[in-house]
Amino acid sequence: MAKRYYITIIVILISIGIIASSFGNYPIKPVKSANNTLINSSDRVMVIATHPDDEAIGCAGVMRYCTENHIPLKIVVITDGYLSASPVKRHDESVNAMKILGVDQSDIIFLGYPDGTLPSLLTRNWNYSRPYRVNGTTNNSNYTYSYQENATYCGANLAGNLDEIITKFNPTVIFYPDSEDEQIDHWATNAFVEYITAQTNYNGSKYTYIVHDPPSWPSPRTYNPETYLLPPNELSAIDYKWVLFPLDRYQERLKEAAINTYTSQVNSDSYIQSFIRKNEIFGINPQIITIYSPEILNYFSSSDYPVNVVKEPKKNVRGKGSIRSREIIAAGFQMDNDNAWISLRTKQNISPTSTYEIHILALNSQNLERIDIKIHNGTANYDIYSDNSFHSGNPKLQIREDGLIVQIPSSALDNVNSFLMSADVLSGTVLIDWTGWREIEIER
């Protein structure tokens, strides 16, 4: 009897441990269960994926729900995925995986842009006059399955593809990568989607998903289909809202079968299988309003910084050793009649050997497309990435122990009521840290 009693106690303790492990990653802010109310029968759903497999990892349950309920669905895969396998193989894996979920091949659009290039297309290779060249030669897509024949490898063309696809399909719900995803192509995809949905005055619902958030997420980072997928703890400090999309047993098994179809990406200990859970999870990014100051500001003569508009999670360290000190922890923006003030707060001193970049993409502006500022070795300059880049004079710069402040004329943002903003740090030409993209409205 005593032996049976002790065995019972042990089983209970083990069970408590398993439950604690499953829910130890629960965020500070409550997560709302969607109960499949994210999508209704009148919706038109679009899933945008960076690489061939992201669509299944992040949204297989959503897509199966659509096919089960005859809800119009369109999938857009942006890159060819060539860095980890043959593009043709990755294309075929996606087609076969989607077939398991009941998605017809005609509802999958492959854009065919080169894997690993999206940050460049978003910046230095934005213009048609400066396309990205694969191996220094090819600057357009030659895949027979590409959405646009001979698509030019530049950001403006990719933005145009998304504009056309979204306008033509007219989705009411869009799922796309989150700006806090650790994979740089996913980060850039988020910016392209945010940019185009703003430019097209899209007024439907938007939900983001995360695929890469090393090293401990998903938790546990193994195949564990009996547990729930919950937000990364590190992102709980950011003003995100999260929703859970529950999967029934059959939907979860189909998701597992679909993920295992990507044989070039899955192995016996693959973290991809960590996403086979009882639910999927999606974020709702905050929109930030910055108030236009009626008073003239001068941050160069005070110890204050402009109001934070981008706050990064504490875990947001992508480098090692000395590179860790170059981490961006926040970005600020404030505007008055004369000037716009932009700031970066850093974990430690600004490094004179690193390059710090600030990117502003104007939304629905006739005269301005973008403002790109580069700070290196104590000097700030404008980068010219498009025909409508702002580049009058040079930005003024103040470097502090824990950050920097840039001053530009407020006339740079004349007739601009909203914009996307992000910042990054480079060591040489290698990105070592970056912030998420945030949409900012100027309340004049």
Asked whether residue 381 is assigned to any structural domain, the reply reads yes
Asked if residue 193 is part of any domain, the answer here is yes
Q: Answer yes or no: do 257 and 354 share one domain.
A: no
Judged against a pLDDT cut of 50, whether residue 221 lies above it is answered with yes
Q: What is the mean pLDDT of the chain?
A: 88
295/372 same-domain check: yes
Q: Is 92 a residue whose pLDDT tops 60?
A: yes
Enter the DSSP assignment of 283.
E
Same domain assignment for residues 198 and 86? yes
Residue 242 has pLDDT above 80, yes or no: yes
User: 45: how many CB neighbours lie within 10 A of its CB?
Assistant: 24
Domain boundary among 221, 254, 284: 284
The residue among 256, 284, 312 that closes a domain is 284
Contact 89, 110 (CB under 8 A): no
Same domain, 298 and 279: no
Which band of pLDDT confidence, cut at 50, 70 and 90, is reported for residue 315?
Answer: low
CA pseudo-torsion sign 31, 66, 177, 289: negative
The CATH number for 343's domain is: 2.60.40.10
Are 120 and 199 contained in the same domain? yes
- Asked if pLDDT for residue 12 goes beyond 60, the answer is no
Same domain, 269 and 328: no
Please state the rounded mean pLDDT for residues 35-51: 92
- Within a domain: 82: yes
Q: What are the Cα distances from residue 35, in Å, to 28, 38, 326, 353, 398?
A: 21, 8, 42, 51, 50
- Contact between 315 and 264 under an 8 Å Cβ cutoff? The reply is no
Give the per-residue SS3 of 358-402. Answer: EEEEECCCCCCCEEEEEEECCEEEEECCCCCECCCCCCEEEEECC
44: pLDDT strictly greater than 70: yes
Angle (nearest 5°) at CA 134 between 131 and 140:
55
Give the model's pLDDT for residue 174: 99
Domain boundary among 265, 284, 303: 284
Q: What percent of the chain has pLDDT over 70?
A: 87
pLDDT band at 365 (very low <50, low <70, confident <90, very high): confident
Question: Is a pLDDT exceeding 80 seen at residue 120?
Answer: yes
Among 49-58, 178-187, 268-277, 367-376, the minimum mean pLDDT is found in: 268-277
The residue among 185 and 239 whose pLDDT is bigger is: 185
One domain, residues 322 and 268: no
Q: How confident is the model at residue 27 (pLDDT cuts 50, 70, 90)?
A: very low
**CATH number of the domain that residue 105 is part of:** 3.40.50.10320
Residue 305 lies in a domain: yes
* Number of domain units in the chain: 2
Domain of residue 71 covers 23-284
Question: Is there a single domain that holds both residue 293 and residue 231?
Answer: no
Same domain, 176 and 37: yes
- Claim to verify: residue 81 and residue 45 sit in the same structural domain: yes
- My answer on whether 277 and 313 are in the same domain is no
